[in-house]
Amino acid sequence: MSHKIIALGGTGQMVLHYYLLLYLLGEIRKPFDAVVVDTDDTIQSLSTIGQFLKDLRYGVQPRDGLGVEIPVVATIKAKPGTFTSAFHALSGEQNKNYSEEAPHPAQAFYDAKSLSQDLMKGLYARPALSSVIAQDDLMNAWLIPTSNTKLVVTGSIIGGTGGGLIAPVVDFVQRRITDRMIPGTQHCAVLFGEYFVPSPDKIQDDVYRFKSNQMLVLRSLQEALAKVRSFHIVGGPGQVAPIERDPNREKKGQNIPWPKDDGDPYWQGVQAVEYLLNESAAEMQVDFAEKEVTAPRMMVSLEQAQQTWRIRLQLVETMLGKRVISRMSDEPFVGSVWGRGLTTLILHFWGIAAEREGGKERVKDFPDRIEEKLRLIWTDKDKGLREAFPSLTEGQKVRPRSIKKIVWPSTEGRQRDPALFTSADRIAHIAAATILFTVLQKGK
């Protein structure tokens, strides 16, 4: 079955962040589609990785890479249109003052702080405000799975965006599946209850509001998730909240560290998503409570993922430090030194560039162009792919000959989309992204 992840709100984005890192490192092999739904901005790491994956495209279809099916990351921002606050959205009046002496009907539904909430900054643990944002933004084709798709929705049920949007998103997906009679789909959910220590200075009465939100959303989900195959809840009442969130760092999405241990809620969420996407043996339950998976099997070792991360990032740094791609054009025994796979790959893209520019003489510097693009993709300020990974403080020594051992993608018989290869620079960019992706996934 195909895999699809719908990540709701900041919590869902953090789960997807780590899931994408594991995919880039080859710890998760099966490609997937991912959709981010939030009222706030997408965290930078997801934007960076999403663009990098787009740069891998080789064939006509969005998922066609060179010898690999590429995950597609889409973003849906549910926004309140031109409305500046909940009161503005409900009344159409931006600056009207309301009080006990001059009440407004909107006060029957929301308190003063909810009505004054700036919707452009998120819902701040007020899930009921999701009803005043533009619901049309959720009527998006990216949310609709294709046939034979296993879909997992993940997000927080104690916050505003995840708690407020999960029910309407699930309802929209299920209605479209029914209306279009899409066969072979299965739905699962990974939900986050109370999983972090709230900061009193961030949200007033947050402890009580989170408990109230959790009860509200779980009750609404019992109906929305009636057709769900299985679900898992991370955290919840009575469980010790093991982490303190840093929302500003999460939003910035740069060099976010690895979880401290297997008990980290985000890591548990990643494991649950991977487990539910791949689980197929469990019998379909009718009773809602029986659908809960209380202890999903750990699918990826955190220790192994960190070891792989150290090796692969150090290998990329070695390639850049040794200027491998630029040096290859001057190497008399290039195949025996760096391997035929990498040599053939570069010659393939070099041939495309020569054909595009009218002869190899016009692109004599093509290896240098790949080297430049490789460095740009990896180290570009704020948007470099290296920023999406945790900082590498202690490198693991790797030898340049490790590059020779990598299994590089074959170019034989591959059909490319000519519309993608518009110039020598663009071709060099695609080549650099393909090389970097292969090193991250398969470096030894």
Question: pLDDT by residue (tens digit) across 96-108?
Answer: 665 555 677 777 6
User: Does position 72 have pLDDT exceeding 60, yes or no?
Assistant: yes
Give yes or no for residue 242 having a pLDDT over 90: no
The region of weakest confidence among 157-161, 276-280, 344-348, 357-361 is 157-161
DSSP string, 104-156: -GGGGTS-HHHHT--GGG--TT-GGGGGGS-GGGG--GGGS--SSEEEEEEEE
Task: Give 388's DSSP letter.
Answer: G
Percent of the chain at pLDDT above 90? Answer: 47
- Lowest mean pLDDT segment, chosen from 7-21, 42-56, 96-110, 399-413: 96-110
- Structure confidence by residue, pLDDT tens digits, 375-411: 999 999 878 999 999 998 776 666 767 888 889 999 8
CA–CA dist 225, 190 (Å, integer): 12
Please state, in angstroms and as integers, the Cα–Cα distance from residue 431 to each residue in 228, 343, 345, following that order.
42, 12, 8
pLDDT at residue 427 in the model: 97
Cα–Cα distance, 192 to 236 (Å, whole number): 7
Provide the pLDDT confidence category of residue 208 given band limits of 50, 70 and 90. low
- Which tokens is 286 given? 């009718």
pLDDT exceeds 70 at position 128 = no
For residue 81, the model assigns a pLDDT of: 64
Comparison of pLDDT for 343 and 117, the residue scoring more = 343
Reply yes or no on whether the pLDDT at 216 is more than 70: no
- pLDDT for 327-341, tens place per residue? 877 766 666 667 788
Quick one: pLDDT at residue 285? Answer: 72
CA distances from 256 to 18, 59, 71, 111, 420 (A): 9, 33, 21, 36, 32
Q: What is the mean pLDDT of residues 413-435?
A: 95
CA distance 148 to 184: 4
Strand pairing of 72-77 and 33-38?
parallel
Q: Residue 273 above 60 pLDDT? A: yes
pTM (two decimals) = 0.88
The answer for residues whose C-beta is within 8 angstroms of residue 163's C-beta and 6 or more apart is: 9, 125, 127, 130, 155, 156, 157, 213, 214, 216, 217
Pairwise CA distance, residues 343 & 347, whole Å: 6
Q: In the chain, how long is the greatest CA-to-CA distance?
A: 88
pLDDT of residue 198: 63
pLDDT value, residue 171? 82
* 429 DSSP β-pair partners: none
Tokens at 342, concatenated:
């990498």
Q: What is the mean pLDDT of residues 197-224?
A: 62
For 141-151, what is each residue's pLDDT tens digit? 899 999 999 99
Q: What is the pLDDT of residue 340?
A: 84
